[in-house]
Amino acid sequence: MASPGKKSFPLRIDPLLWNEIERMAAQELRSANAQVEYLLRQALKQQGRHVPTAKTASDGAEKDGEQIEE
């Protein structure tokens, strides 16, 4: 079941790549879905792009993935 406020879409992915994502997710105590989202955000950040999460965008300012206290 999709989380509220999250876009859901089908993904075709190499089974060996998916196995590695699941392995990484287990090591980092995330779901495979959360791991994919984390890796996508990391890749965007490396490219100089920052996409705030829906939660942090509505809660206030954010810098490098951390909430800024005002």
Taking only the tens of pLDDT, the chain with its 70 residues reads 667 788 888 999 999 999 999 999 999 999 999 999 999 999 999 999 988 877 766 665 544 445 444 3
Q: Does residue 63 lie in a domain region?
A: no
At 51 the pLDDT is 84
Instruction: Determine, yes or no, domain membership for 58.
Output: no
Task: Using alpha carbons, select from 63, 43, 42 the residue that is nearest to residue 52.
Answer: 63
Element (H, E) at 62: strand 62-63
Confidence at residue 1, expressed as pLDDT on a 0 to 100 scale: 63
Tell me the β-bridge partners of 67: 62
Q: Please report, to the nearest 10 degrees, the dihedral formed by the alpha carbons of residues 52, 49, 62, 64 taken in order.
A: 120
Query: Would 17 be classed as within a structural domain?
Result: yes
Tally of domains within the chain = 1
